[in-house]
């Protein structure tokens, strides 16, 4: 085989390429001391580790030394073991690598599962972790990937979000020219600039899930585990939320349904007032699953009911104030049952959802998603 035509296996490209300076040092070392580490090959002849050594040997006119992988265990883990101690990578780069190799790791798991003879074919499919193009990887897979790369699961989730929503910034993280934190801030600013203008029409019914910034509360910092909003969409300060001209969009008699979490309950009232509404009562969403807070295990969120002028429900039926629905895996996604509650209580009038993620028949929407 002409060595210049030898191909690379996909795992060979999991780690970012060497810089020009790093490659020059490697090439000089091989020229002076020879090739000390072998270039590892897949049984099909493709390079799985040592693409830089291979290139250096070709440029120096040296016949490369190869060793074939025995096919035992995980090829992805083998590649990681070979590279982790050789490269000086930042935590952000390691998290980005974890995101790239995660689908390969899951494919290996499916392949191993498929070789078992003690499971029926239908059961095999049912037991495999399913990851769509939209949903993040299952927590177990994410945690495994994070452990292998020596980073926190949060970093892997952040990197996954960047890969899906801002691939250009993700590429910068891979290259080591920026960090995940800086990329997140850049993406947040980009989204804010792309926000559409507020609607000019008048509405009777408002439904809002504001992107609260947990830094507003003064009790939740960047390092805490509760409510990492910035990983998913750009948050807004209380001042920014108050500045939105929701009051100008509201009919003389209108109602606002606003989501807020317990840590930010006090912070939301200036926003309600700035928008021209008064707080009346609330619904409680019992999420069934828990989020661990500072003072208790939080399993609920509040949907506040606020009015402007006279806007009692059109339907006099009294609904239960506590609704138990298990939360979904998508960050901040609210059950559609609450929109149905609003439609049941307020049967007429023009309605709008602020900070919306989807379009719903009968509702106008505003948001940057």
Residues 49 and 10 in one domain: yes
Instruction: At 278, give phi and psi (nearest 5°).
Output: -125, 140
Residues 126 and 252 in one domain: no
Residues 228 and 330 in one domain: yes
Q: pLDDT, tens digit, for every residue of 32-65? A: 999 999 999 999 999 999 999 999 999 999 999 9
Residue 203, pLDDT score: 97
- Supply the DSSP symbol for 12: G
Residue 281, pLDDT score: 97
Q: pLDDT, tens digit, for every residue of 313-342? A: 999 889 999 999 987 655 557 899 999 999
- Bridge partners of 260, per DSSP, are 302
Q: For residues 40 and 46, give the distance between their C-alpha atoms in angstroms, rounded to a whole number.
A: 9
Residue 227, pLDDT score: 44
Residues 52 and 187 in one domain: no
Residue 63 sits in a domain of what CATH number? 3.90.1530.30
Residues 43 and 149 in one domain: no
Which residue is listed with tokens 């009911």?
Answer: 305
Arithmetic mean of pLDDT, 220-243: 61
Q: Are 94 and 152 in contact (CB under 8 A)?
A: no
Residue 230, pLDDT score: 45
Residue 238 sits in a domain of what CATH number? 3.40.50.150
**pLDDT at residue 208 greater than cutoff 70:** yes
Residue 307, number of CB atoms within 10 A of its CB: 17
Q: Where are the alpha helices (DSSP H) in 115-138?
A: 121-127
Which of 39, 349, 2 has the alpha carbon at shortest distance from 202? 349
Q: How many domains does the chain have?
A: 3
Residue ending a domain, choose from 52, 67, 84: 84
Highest averaged pLDDT of the listed ranges 4-8, 188-192, 287-291: 4-8
By residue range, what is the domain housing residue 113? 91-192
Q: Report the percentage of the chain scoring pLDDT > 70.
A: 81
Read off the pLDDT band of 218 (50, 70, 90).
very low
Q: pLDDT, tens digit, for every residue of 142-157? A: 787 888 888 888 888 8
Read off the pLDDT band of 292 (50, 70, 90).
low
Which of 202, 232, 11 has the alpha carbon at shortest distance from 108? 11
**pLDDT at residue 82 greater than cutoff 80:** yes
Arithmetic mean of pLDDT, 20-25: 91
Q: Are 37 and 105 in contact (CB under 8 A)?
A: no
Arithmetic mean of pLDDT, 86-109: 82
Residues 343 and 251 in one domain: yes
Residues 214 and 348 in one domain: yes
321-357: b (≥16 Cβ within 10 Å) or e: eebeeebeeeebebeeebbebbbebbeeebbbbbbbe
Predicted structure pTM score: 0.52
Residues 253 and 285 in one domain: yes
Residue 333 is inside which H or E element, if any?
none
Residues 209 and 357 in one domain: yes
Instruction: At 304, give phi and psi (nearest 5°).
Output: -80, 140
Residues 216 and 278 in one domain: yes
**pLDDT at residue 287 greater than cutoff 80:** yes
Residues 112 and 214 in one domain: no
Residues 296 and 182 in one domain: no
Residue ending a domain, choose from 65, 84, 103: 84
**pLDDT at residue 129 greater than cutoff 60:** no
Residue ending a domain, choose from 62, 84, 106: 84
Residue 215, pLDDT score: 55
Residue 369, pLDDT score: 56
Residue 7, pLDDT score: 92
């Amino acid at each position: 085989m002409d060595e210049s035509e030898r191909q690379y296996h996909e795992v060979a490209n999991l780690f970012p390429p060497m810089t020009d300076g790093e490659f020059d040092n490697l090439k000089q070392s091989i020229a002076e001391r020879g090739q000390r580490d072998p270039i590892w090959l897949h049984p099909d002849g493709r390079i799985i580790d040592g693409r830089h050594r291979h290139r250096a040997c070709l440029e120096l006119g040296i016949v490369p030394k190869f060793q074939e992988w025995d096919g035992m265990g995980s090829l992805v883990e083998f590649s990681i073991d070979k590279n982790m101690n050789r490269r000086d990578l930042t935590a952000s780069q390691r998290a980005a690598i974890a995101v790239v190799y995660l689908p390969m790791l899951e494919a290996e798991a499916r392949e191993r599962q498929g070789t078992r003879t003690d499971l029926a074919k239908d059961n095999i499919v049912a037991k495999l972790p399913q990851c769509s193009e939209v949903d993040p990887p299952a927590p177990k897979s994410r945690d495994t990937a994070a452990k292998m790369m020596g980073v926190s699961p949060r970093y892997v989730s952040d990197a996954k979000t960047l890969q899906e929503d801002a691939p250009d910034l993700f590429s910068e993280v891979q290259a080591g020219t920026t960090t995940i934190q800086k990329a997140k801030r850049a993406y947040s600013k980009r989204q804010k600039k792309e926000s559409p203008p507020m609607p000019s029409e008048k509405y009777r019914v408002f439904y809002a899930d504001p992107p609260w910034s947990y830094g507003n509360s003064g009790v939740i910092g960047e390092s805490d585990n509760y409510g990492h909003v910035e990983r998913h969409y750009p948050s807004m300060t209380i001042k920014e939320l108050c500045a939105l001209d929701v009051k100008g969009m509201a009919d003389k008699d209108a109602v606002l349904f606003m989501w807020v979490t317990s840590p930010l309950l006090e912070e939301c009232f200036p926003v309600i007032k700035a928008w021209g509404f008064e707080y009346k009562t609330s619904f409680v969403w019992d999420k069934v699953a828990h989020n661990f807070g500072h003072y208790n295990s939080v399993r609920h969120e509040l949907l506040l009911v606020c009015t402007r002028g006279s806007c009692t429900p059109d339907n006099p039926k009294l609904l239960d104030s506590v609704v138990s629905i298990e939360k979904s895996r998508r960050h901040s996604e609210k059950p559609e049952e609450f929109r149905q509650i609003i439609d049941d209580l307020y049967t007429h009038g023009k309605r709008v959802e602020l900070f919306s993620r989807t379009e719903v028949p009968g509702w106008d929407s505003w948001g940057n998603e």
